[in-house]
C-alpha cells in the first residue's frame, strides 16, 4: 500500500484533534457522572436530614396525640413544592392516617377512649409503600433505603426511613414491635439533572470551539515556522543535487530550523568551494586536508604523460596560443584520466602526473593511456597535431604532504614514481611504456609489444618494459 | 545439577507461598471488641431475666451484664440536671435469649455497648455491637438504630426506675448505681 503524503501540519492537527477530542469526551463523561453522583449524594444527604427532622416532628406531634397536626404538617410541606413529596406508611404498607385503625388500637391499649374516631379521612388512600421499603423496615438493624427512579423522563430520589417504636411510644402503641412505620420523602431532580446536562453541553461546545481555534492557530504556526522553511531547505538541497551551488536559504529564524538553514547554507558554501578547489587540487590533496594525514605508504599505479616536442613548438607561436593549446591537451587528458578512475596529482609544465589506486589500477591506467592517444590523434587538427608519450608503473610509493607550512602539495614520491617518469621520457609521441609489474595485470585483450630492456637514469640494471599497442 | 537447581527454586517458592498464606491468615484474624469470654463473671445491671417485650428485641428475653469499669459511673450535676458518665472501656453486654431458654442454652445473640468515644464509629460515645455466638462474628452498628432507642434512657422512660428525674443516664437504661429494684413488666402497657 502506497503511503499517502500528509503534510506535517495536517498530521500535527490530526494528533491534536484526536487527543483533545478523546480527552474532552472522557473528561465530559467523567465530569457528567461525577456531577450526577454529587447531586444525588447531596440530595440523599439532604433527604436524610429532612427525614430525621420529619421523624422528630412526628414524635413531637404524636406523643401528645396530635395526629391531625402531623397530617397538616405533611400537607403544608407538599404545598411548598409540588416536586417534593412526603408520605407515611404503616409497616403493612397502608398509608398512615387513612383510617381509624390506629386510634382504635391505642384506645384499646390504654383502656379508655381518649381519641375519638375521625368522621373524615385525613389522608386519602394512596398506593401502598413499595415492597423494597417494607423489606428495609424488616431488616435488623433497620436501615434507611435510598432509591433513584427514572420513569417517563422524570428522575426521582427517594428515601424510606423506618420509624422506630421508641420506648416512650410503647405506652400507646405497645412494646411488641420495633418499627412503627415508614416515612417516604421523594424529590424530583429532573430539572437539576437537565440543567447540569445543558451546562456540560455548553462547556463542551465552548471547549470544542477553542479546540478548533487552537488547531487552526497551531496549523498556521507549524506552516510558517516549520513546513515552509523545511520546504525551502529541501528546494536548496535539490538545486545543489542538480549542480547549482549558488542557491542559499533565506531563513533567518532564531531556532532549531534557523540553525538547520544556517548549517545547510554553510554546507552548500563548502561544497561550492570544494567543487571549485577540485579544479586546481588533486583529490588526494583534498582528502589529506580533511584527514589531516601526513604521509603513508601505498600500492598504486603511477601515470606520467608529457607532450612531445612542445618546447620547440612553443618557441614559434604566441604565448596565448601556447597556453590555450597546452590547457586544451591537459584538459583532454584530465577528463580521460578521471573517467578511468584516476586522480590527477599535478601538472608540471606540459606534464601530467596521475595516480590510480585499487586492484584494477594498472588496467585502468593502461586503458586511459590508450584512450588519450586515440583522442589526441582524433583531435589532431584542433591541437596542432600535438601528442604525448606516457610511462606507467605499479608498485609501492609514498603519499604525503610535500612542501613547507606556507605551500605544500599532497603528492606521491618514490622509486615507482621516478621510474614512471623515466619511462615517460623514453616514450615517443603516441607511445606508452609500461613496467613489468603493470604488464602482469593486463588482460589478453590489451595488446603489448616486448619485453624490451630499457636503460633508465638512476637504475644500474636495465628495466623490462612493454609498449602498449592500440586495440 | 540442573535438577538440583530446579528443586531448590521449587522449595523456595513453596516456602514463600506458605509464609504468604500464613501472614494472610494471621492478618484476617479479627480481634473482637466485646469481651465475650468473661462477661458472665461481671455483675448484672438487673438481677433477673428481663422477660417483657420491648421494641428492638420484641418477645426475646434479656440478661444484662456490665464490666467492672462501669460499676461506678461518674455522676455530676449541671444546671440542675444529673449527668452520668461511664468511663472509657466500659462494656455492657446484653444476652438475647429465646423465651423458652432453659438456663444452659447459648444466647441467640449478644448485643453490646463499648464506651469508646474516640472511635469514629461511636454514637453517643458508645460503640453499638452485635455478636452472633454461632458464627463467632461481631458487627459494629453504625446506623442510628440502636442509639435511637437508647436515647430514651436519657429522659423519662417505661423501664426500671423510669428515670422520672430526667437524668442524663449516658444511654444506659439500668445504671448500676440506681436502685431500680426487680424489674417487672409495666402495667401501663
Per-residue 3-state assignment (H helix, E strand, C coil) for chain B? CHHHHHHHHHHHHHHHHHHHHHHHHHHHCCCCCCCCCCHHHCEECCCCCECCCECCCECCEEEEEECHHHCCCEEEEECCEEEEECCCCCEEEEEEECCCCCCCCCCCEEEEEEECCCCCCCECCEEEEEEECCCCEEEECCCCHHHHHHHHHHCCCCCCCCCCCCCECCCCCCCCCCCCCCCCCCCCC
Query: Which residues in chain B are closer than 8 Å to A60, comparing Cβ atoms?
Result: none
The closest alpha carbon to A90, from A157, A162, A155, A25, belongs to A162
The answer as to CATH 3.40.710.10 being correct for domain A292-468 is no
Residue A281 sits at the chain B interface (C-beta within 8 Å): no
Mean pLDDT of A233-258: 88
Beta-carbon-side half-sphere exposure of residue A266 (alpha carbons within 13 Å):
6
Q: Are residues B62 and B126 in the same domain?
A: yes
Q: Are residues B24 and B47 in the same domain?
A: no
Q: Are residues B48 and B99 in the same domain?
A: yes
Residue A399 C-alpha cell reads as: 603519499
Residue of B nearest to A138 (CA): B56
**Average pLDDT of chain B to the nearest whole number:** 83
pLDDT band at A1 (very low <50, low <70, confident <90, very high): very low
Sign of the CA dihedral with A66 first, then A67, A68, and A73 last = positive
Q: Are residues B16 and B109 in the same domain?
A: no
Q: Are residues B10 and B98 in the same domain?
A: no
- Cβ separation B148–A142 shorter than 8 A: no
For residue A225, what is the DSSP state?
I
The closest alpha carbon to B137, from B28, B32, B62, belongs to B32
The answer as to CATH 3.30.70 being correct for domain A8-188 is no
Question: Rounded to an integer, what distance in angstroms lies between the CA atom of residue B22 and that of residue A70?
Answer: 60
Residue, of A120 and B121, whose pLDDT is higher: B121
Judge whether B114 lies within some domain.
yes
Q: Are residues B5 and B81 in the same domain?
A: no
Least confident of A8-22, A182-196, A446-460, B78-92: A8-22
**Average pLDDT of chain A to the nearest whole number:** 84
Beta-carbon-side half-sphere exposure of residue A427 (alpha carbons within 13 Å):
33
- Cβ separation B189–A142 shorter than 8 A: no
pLDDT band at A59 (very low <50, low <70, confident <90, very high): confident
Q: Which residue range(s) make up the domain with B60?
A: 39-154
Residue, of B108 and A315, whose pLDDT is higher: B108
Comparing CB atoms, the residue among A110, A141, A169 nearest residue B145 is: A141
Number of domains forming the structure of chain B:
2
What lies within 8 Å, CB to CB, of B179 at 6+ separation is B161
What lies within 8 Å, CB to CB, of B153 at 6+ separation is B159, B163, B169, B170, B171, B172, B173
Question: Rounded to an integer, what distance in angstroms lies between the CA atom of residue A39 and that of residue A225?
Answer: 48
Complex ipTM over 0.90: no
Residue A141 sits at the chain B interface (C-beta within 8 Å): yes
Residue B147 C-alpha cell reads as: 442509639
Judge whether B179 lies within some domain.
no
Counting residues of chain A whose pLDDT is more than 70, the rounded percentage is: 93
Comparing CB atoms, the residue among B55, B156, B158 nearest residue A177 is: B55
Residue, of A402 and B138, whose pLDDT is higher: B138
Is A339 within 8 Å of A389 (Cβ atoms)? no
Q: Is the pLDDT of residue A230 over 80?
A: yes
Q: Is the pLDDT of residue B184 over 50?
A: no
Residue A152 C-alpha cell reads as: 417517563
Instruction: Compute how many other C-beta atoms are within 10 angstroms of the C-beta atom of residue B147.
Output: 17
Amino acid at each position: 500500500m502506497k503511503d499517502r503524503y500528509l503534510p506535517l501540519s495536517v498530521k500535527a492537527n490530526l494528533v491534536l484533534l484526536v487527543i483533545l477530542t478523546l480527552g474532552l469526551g472522557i473528561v465530559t463523561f467523567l465530569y457528567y457522572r461525577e456531577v450526577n453522583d454529587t447531586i444525588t449524594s447531596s440530595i440523599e444527604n439532604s433527604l436524610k436530614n429532612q427525614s430525621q427532622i420529619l421523624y422528630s416532628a412526628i414524635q413531637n406531634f404524636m406523643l401528645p396525640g396530635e395526629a391531625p397536626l402531623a397530617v397538616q404538617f405533611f400537607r403544608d410541606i407538599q404545598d411548598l413544592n409540588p416536586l417534593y413529596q412526603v408520605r407515611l406508611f404503616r409497616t403493612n404498607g397502608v398509608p398512615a392516617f387513612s383510617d381509624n385503625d390506629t386510634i382504635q388500637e391505642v384506645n384499646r391499649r390504654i383502656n379508655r377512649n381518649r381519641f375519638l374516631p375521625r368522621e373524615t379521612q385525613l389522608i386519602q388512600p394512596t398506593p401502598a409503600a413499595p415492597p423494597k421499603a417494607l423489606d428495609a423496615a424488616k431488616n435488623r438493624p433497620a436501615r434507611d433505603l435510598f432509591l433513584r427512579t427514572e420513569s417517563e423522563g422524570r428522575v426521582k430520589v427517594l428515601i424510606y426511613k423506618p420509624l422506630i417504636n421508641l420506648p416512650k411510644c410503647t405506652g400507646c402503641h405497645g412494646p411488641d414491635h420495633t418499627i412503627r412505620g415508614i416515612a417516604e420523602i421523594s424529590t424530583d431532580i429532573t430539572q437539576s439533572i437537565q440543567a447540569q446536562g445543558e451546562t456540560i453541553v455548553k462547556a463542551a461546545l465552548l471547549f470544542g470551539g477553542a479546540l478548533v481555534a487552537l488547531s487552526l492557530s497551531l496549523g498556521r504556526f507549524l506552516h510558517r515556522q516549520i513546513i515552509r522553511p523545511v520546504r525551502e531547505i529541501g528546494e536548496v538541497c535539490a538545486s545543489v543535487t542538480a549542480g547549482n551551488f549558488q542557491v542559499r536559504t533565506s531563513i533567518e529564524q532564531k531556532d532549531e530550523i534557523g540553525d538547520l538553514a544556517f548549517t545547510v547554507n554553510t554546507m552548500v558554501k563548502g561544497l561550492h568551494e570544494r567543487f571549485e578547489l577540485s579544479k586546481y587540487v588533486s583529490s588526494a590533496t583534498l582528502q589529506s586536508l580533511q584527514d589531516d594525514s601526513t604521509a603513508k605508504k601505498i600500492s598504486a599505479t603511477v601515470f606520467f604523460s608529457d607532450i612531445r616536442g612542445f618546447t620547440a613548438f612553443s618557441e614559434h607561436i604566441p604565448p596565448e596560443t601556447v597556453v590555450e593549446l597546452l590547457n586544451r591537451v591537459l584538459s583532454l587528458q584530465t577528463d580521460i584520466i578521471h573517467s578511468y578512475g584516476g586522480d590527477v596529482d599535478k601538472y608540471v609544465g606540459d606534464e601530467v602526473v596521475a595516480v590510480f589506486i585499487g586492484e584494477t589500477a594498472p588496467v585502468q591506467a593502461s586503458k586511459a593511456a590508450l584512450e588519450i592517444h586515440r583522442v589526441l590523434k582524433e583531435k589532431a587538427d584542433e591541437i596542432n597535431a600535438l601528442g604525448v608519450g606516457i610511462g606507467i608503473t605499479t608498485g609501492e610509493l609514498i603519499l604525503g604532504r610535500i612542501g613547507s607550512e606556507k605551500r605544500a602539495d599532497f603528492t606521491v614520491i618514490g622509486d615507482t614514481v621516478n621510474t614512471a617518469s623515466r619511462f615517460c621520457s623514453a616514450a615517443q609521441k603516441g607511445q606508452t611504456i609500461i613496467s613489468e609489474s603493470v604488464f602482469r595485470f593486463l588482460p589478453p585483450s590489451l595488446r603489448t609489444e616486448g619485453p624490451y630492456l630499457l636503460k633508465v637514469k638512476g637504475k644500474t640494471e636495465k628495466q623490462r618494459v612493454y609498449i602498449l599497442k592500440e586495440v | 545439577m540442573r535438577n538440583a537447581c530446579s528443586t531448590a527454586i521449587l522449595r523456595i517458592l513453596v516456602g514463600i507461598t506458605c509464609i504468604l498464606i500464613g501472614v494472610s491468615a494471621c492478618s484476617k484474624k479479627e480481634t473482637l471488641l466485646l469481651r465475650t469470654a468473661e462477661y458472665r463473671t461481671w455483675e448484672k445491671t438487673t438481677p433477673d431475666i428481663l422477660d417483657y417485650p420491648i421494641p428492638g428485641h420484641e418477645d426475646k428475653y434479656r440478661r444484662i451484664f456490665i464490666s467492672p469499669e462501669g460499676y461506678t459511673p461518674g455522676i455530676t450535676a449541671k444546671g440542675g440536671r444529673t449527668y452520668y458518665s461511664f468511663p472509657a472501656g466500659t462494656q455492657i453486654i446484653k444476652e438475647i435469649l429465646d423465651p423458652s431458654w432453659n438456663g444452659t442454652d447459648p444466647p441467640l445473640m449478644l448485643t453490646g455497648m463499648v464506651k469508646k468515644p474516640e472511635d469514629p464509629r461511636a454514637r453517643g460515645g458508645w460503640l453499638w455491637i452485635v455478636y452472633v455466638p454461632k458464627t463467632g462474628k461481631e458487627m459494629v452498628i453504625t446506623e442510628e438504630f440502636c442509639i435511637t432507642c437508647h436515647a430514651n434512657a436519657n429522659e423519662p422512660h417505661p423501664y426500671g426506675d423510669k428515670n422520672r428525674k430526667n437524668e442524663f443516664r449516658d444511654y444506659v437504661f439500668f445504671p448500676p448505681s440506681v436502685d431500680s429494684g426487680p424489674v417487672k413488666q409495666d402495667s401501663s402497657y
